[in-house]
């Protein structure tokens, strides 16, 4: 069920009042919100609700057993079993065809015939997100960081519809305690919620959809038919599109959760204002960055094993992060490029013998420009359907200057400028807007919201494309 649709609006107008009406009675509210979340998830294909329910039951049983066990070997075996179940499900649905085709191609290069059949498996929406949240739950129980809760509360945590299909990736300690906390609808930060929803809708429906339909999809589909200028602008446009699309989704999700009385962690913080690749990952998909750090990088050894092992761990973490995004070698290369950049930045800091420090003055702007263009280069592999298409894009950047560029319009350039320029607004800007909005009378707030929705509807292309991160 897509957020920017009339279907979801009707769904939420039913769920919101019923949620607050039942919230004083937790034994009524929890089943209600689980059912509502399952309806939300089943709108595309009801059969995948069984997968979500099975994942919930599997991880709850093993997390409780891990917590109660006092035998280290048994606890470790239970953890391995839980991880094997989660990664096995993720691997089957997301990576089966990828590994089969890769194995078949490798076998063919050495003259072996391995008749492994592809299954064209349908990928359940959001499986990567709720699988990672489930892994957090069992690993935190194993580490003793979080005591497993009841099955009902865990089901709310895993299926809560605002974050279910595209994040943010919320930790057990961030959401489950809120389920037990009494909430007052009069204390909801509605100004922030409406601001996030309105800006999120604008970013998705207007900026992201417009850039996709106006230049990105056409150029990436056939780069050889376009000029170097169109390819360059398409790369910039995709950088803005994926930011506006994904941050727009999480802004809406955080705003919806706020209206329901829950607080989610921030997921984006002006990533294209980053001064290094490390800084970029502190600002981009922040909940995934934290997850990779705490559940991949640190278990691999982090920076505890010396310089070489630290570099290895950085590279492996980013390769895994790349593969998490999609079952294709282009995603692995994307993750590898970021891993190499992180290793390079760490090596440079180690060589100087000083901790990395943020540049100042003109050096800060130079670092921002370099970082942004590196990120854009990596986005080519992320967006391209194949290595061939990625190389065609890169080659086209140098071989087609002077040709006509009809896709480079003032509207496209303006959308790119707004998408990037908005990240350089003062940090106080949203707070000032929200404060002024909150001081308006109810009728004034309703008028402002109606006008913003009308503007978004008029400016956006016809129809709403699925969010990019639904495929992950």
Residues with a catalytic annotation lie at 325
Q: What does the alpha-carbon distance between residue 58 and residue 136 come to, in Å, rounded to a whole number? A: 14
What does the pLDDT average to over 436-453?
Answer: 88
Please name the residue ranges forming H helices in 260-306.
277-283, 286-292, 298-300
pLDDT tens per residue across span 327-359: 788 999 999 999 999 999 999 888 876 665 667
Q: Running DSSP on this structure, what letter comes out for residue 303? A: T
What is the residue-averaged pLDDT of the chain?
90
Per-residue tokens: 250: 């999480």
Q: Summarize pLDDT for 122-141 with one digit per residue, the tens.
A: 778 888 899 999 999 999 99
Gap between the Cα atoms of 280 and 301, Å rounded: 22
Nearest to 143 by CA among 295, 289, 256: 295
Give the Cα separation of 235 and 378 in Å (integer). 10
Are the C-beta atoms of residues 34 and 159 closer than 8 Å to each other?
Answer: yes
Name the burial class of residue 262, with classes exposed (0-12), middle (13-18) and buried (19+) by CB atoms within 10 angstroms of its CB.
Answer: buried
Alpha-carbon gap, residue 51 to 417, rounded angstroms: 42
HEC profile of 26-80? HHHHHHHHHHHHHHHHHCCCCCHHHHHHHHHHHHHHHHHHHHHCCCHHHHHHHHH
Place of tokens 């090596």: 347
Q: What is the pTM of this model?
A: 0.91
For residue 466, which of 233, 212, 170 has the smallest C-alpha distance? 212
The pLDDT assigned to 119 comes to 64
Question: For 191-233, how does the pLDDT look when each residue is reduced to its tens digit (9 = 90+)?
Answer: 889 999 999 999 999 999 999 999 999 999 999 999 999 999 9
State how far the Cα of 68 lies from the Cα of 141, in Å rounded to an integer: 10
Query: pLDDT per residue over 240-298, tens digit each?
Result: 999 999 999 999 999 999 999 999 999 999 999 999 999 999 999 999 999 999 999 99
Please tell me the predicted confidence (pLDDT) of residue 111.
66
Question: Residue 403: is its pLDDT beyond 90?
Answer: no
pLDDT tens for each residue of 36-63? 999 999 988 888 899 999 999 999 999 9
Residue 434 near residue 195 (C-beta atoms within 8 A): yes
pLDDT at position 108, please? 67
Q: Locate all alpha helices (DSSP H) within 160-208, ordered by sequence.
A: 172-180, 190-201
């Amino acid at each position: 069920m897509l957020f920017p649709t009339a279907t979801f609006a009707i769904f939420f107008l039913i769920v919101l009042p019923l949620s607050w009406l039942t919230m004083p009675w937790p034994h009524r509210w929890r089943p209600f919100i689980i059912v509502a979340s399952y309806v939300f998830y089943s709108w595309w294909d009801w059969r995948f609700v069984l997968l979500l329910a099975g994942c919930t039951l599997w991880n709850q049983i093993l997390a409780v057993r891990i917590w109660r066990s006092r035998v280290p070997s048994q606890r470790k075996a239970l953890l391995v079993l839980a991880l094997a179940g989660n990664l096995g499900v993720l691997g089957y649905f997301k990576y089966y065809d990828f590994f089969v085709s890769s194995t078949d191609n490798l076998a063919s290069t050495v003259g072996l015939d391995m008749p492994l059949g592809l299954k064209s498996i349908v990928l359940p929406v959001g499986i990567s997100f709720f699988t990672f949240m489930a892994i957090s739950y069992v690993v935190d129980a194993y580490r003793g960081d979080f005591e497993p809760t009841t099955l009902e509360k865990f089901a709310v945590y895993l299926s809560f519809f605002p974050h279910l299909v595209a994040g943010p990736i919320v930790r057990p300690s961030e959401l489950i305690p809120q389920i037990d906390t009494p909430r007052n609808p009069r204390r909801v930060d509605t100004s922030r919620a409406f601001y996030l929803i309105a800006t999120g809708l604008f970013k998705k429906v207007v900026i992201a959809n417009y850039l996709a339909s106006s230049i990105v999809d056409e150029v990436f589909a056939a780069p050889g038919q376009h000029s170097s200028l169109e390819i360059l602008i398409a790369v910039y446009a995709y950088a803005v599109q994926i930011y506006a699309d994904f941050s727009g989704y999480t802004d809406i999700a955080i705003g919806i959760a706020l209206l329901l009385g829950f607080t989610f962690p921030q997921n984006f913080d002006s990533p294209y204002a980053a001064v290094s690749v490390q800084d970029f990952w502190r600002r981009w998909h922040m909940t995934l960055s934290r997850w990779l750090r705490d559940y991949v990088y640190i278990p691999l050894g982090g920076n505890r094993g010396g310089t070489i092992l630290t570099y290895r761990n950085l590279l492996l973490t980013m390769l895994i992060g790349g593969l998490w995004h999609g079952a294709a070698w282009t995603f692995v290369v994307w993750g590898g490029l970021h891993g190499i950049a992180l290793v390079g930045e760490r090596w440079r800091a180690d060589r100087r013998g000083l901790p990395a420090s943020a540049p100042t003055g003109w050096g800060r702007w130079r670092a921002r420009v370099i970082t942004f263009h590196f990120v854009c280069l990596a986005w080519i592999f992320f967006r391209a359907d194949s290595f061939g298409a990625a190389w065609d894009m890169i080659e086209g950047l140098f071989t087609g200057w002077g040709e006509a560029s009809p896709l480079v319009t003032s509207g496209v350039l303006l959308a790119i400028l707004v998408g990037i320029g908005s990240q350089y607004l003062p940090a106080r800007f949203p707070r000032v807007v929200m404060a002024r909005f909150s001081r308006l009378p109810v009728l004034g707030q309703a008028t402002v919201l109606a006008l913003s929705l009308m503007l978004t509807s008029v400016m956006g292309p016809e129809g709403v494309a699925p969010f990019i991160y639904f495929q992950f």
